[in-house]
Amino acid sequence: MGWLRLFFLHPVSLYQGTAFPFALLFNCLCSTDSFPTRARHLFLLAGGGALALAAMGSFAVLVFIPALGTVVLIYSLGPQEVHRWAFLFQMSWQTLCHLGLHYTEYYLQEPPSTRFCITLSSLMLLTQRVTSLSLDICEGKVEAASRDIRSRSSLSEHLCRALPYFSYLLFFPGLLGGPLCSFQRFQACVQGFSSVGPRYSFWAFTWKGLQILGLECLMVVMRWVVSAGAGLADCRQLQCIYVMWSTAGLFKLTYYSHWLLDDSLLCAAGFGSEFGESPGEEGYLPDADIWMLETTHRISLFTRKWNQSTARWLRRLIFQQGRAWPLLQTFAFSAWWHGLHPGQVFGFLCWAVMVKADYLIHTFANLFIRSWPMRLLYRTLTWAHTQLIIAYIMLAVEGRSLSSLWLLCNSYNSVFPMVYCILLFLLAKRKHKVN
C-alpha cells in the first residue's frame, strides 16, 4: 500500500505543472494597474475551481463543500467561537472522507481511484488553511467578518466581502500542494503587487528546475534499485535493512521533488520566499530543506525540518495549545489528520517516542562527551541511527496496512527504534533519580 502515495504524487505533479502558465500570467497581470484586487481574487478562485475539476473530477465537490461551510461559519460566529467550530467541522468532514478510503481499501479490497486520493490530499491542505485562518481570527491577527448576515446588504455585497476568504481557501497555487500560506501573507501578496514588474526570479526558477531534474534522475535510479531487489516479505536478516533504506530513500526523493515543484508554483504566482513580508506577517517557509534533512544527526531537528510549514502549523495548532503531553498530542493528531491507518498510528506514535528519546540522549551526550574524536564518532553513529529510524517510521506510515506493518515489525529493522526505547527508559530513570 505504500506505493499508492508514490503513484498519485505523479499525477499531482502533472496538474501542478499545467498550472504554471496561469501562475505566471497572474503574476504578470498583477504587475499592471488595470488588474484590481477583486479581479485578482476572482482569477485565483476561478483557477482553483478549474484545477479542482480537472484533477478531481466529481470528487471536487468534497473540497468545495467544506470551503463554503467555513465561510458560513466565519460570518455566523464570533471571533472566539470560529476556531473551535471550524476545526470540528473541517476535521469531521475530512475524517468521513478518510473513512470512505478505509471502506474501499479494507472492506471492498479495491484500489481507490487516483482522483479520490488527490481529493483527500487537497482536503488535508484545506484543513491547514481553514484552521490557520480561524486561529488568526481567534487571536485577533485577522479582522473578523461581520456577523450581521441578515442586514439589508445585497447578496452581491455579501459575496464581495466573502471573496477573499473563498479565494484564500481555494486559490490554485496552493490547492494541490505547497507550503502553508497564512491569510495575512496571502492578502499582502494579492494587494501588494506593484507596477515594477512581475515578482519572480529567472535564476531562482532555473536553480529549482535543475534541482527537480536532478531529483527525478535519482528517483529513476532508486526506483530501479528497489524494483530489482527483494521486498520486506522476501528479504533475509540484514538484507532487510538495505531494503528499508532504499525504499525510504525513494519516498524521500519523491517528496523532495514534489515540494520543490509546489514551491516553484507559489513563487511563479508571486507568493514565494524571495519577496518581502509585511510587519507582523507570518514568514514564508518552504517545505524542503534537503541538506539539513540528510545531514542532521538529531531526530528532533529532522522532525522540525521535515515538511517545515506543516510542522510549524502543527506546533501552533496542537503543541502550543496542549497542557498535558503536548508532544504526544501533536503526533496523535498528525495520525488523525493523515487518516488513522494502522501503520500511520503506529508510525506517528513511534516518532513521538523517538523525539522524546532524542532529547534525553543528546542532553546526556553533551554533558559527558568532551573530546572531538569521540564527538565525531558520536555524530557519525547517531546520524546513521537517525536516518535508519526515520526510514523505519516512513515505511510504517507509507505502508499503512496491518500486513505491511507486521512485515516491518518482524524484520531486523525493529532493532533501531528499540535501541532508542531502551535508552529512553534508562535515561528517564536516571533523570528521575537525579531530580
Give me the active site residues, please. 307, 338
CA nearest neighbour of 131 among 76, 182, 65: 182
CA distances from 217 to 44, 245, 249, 253, 261 (A): 33, 18, 13, 10, 15
Angle at 84 between CA 74 and CA 284, to 5 degrees: 75
Q: Report the distance separating Cα 123 and Cα 176, nearest Å.
A: 9
What are the φ/ψ torsions at residue 432 (nearest 5 degrees)? Answer: -65, -40
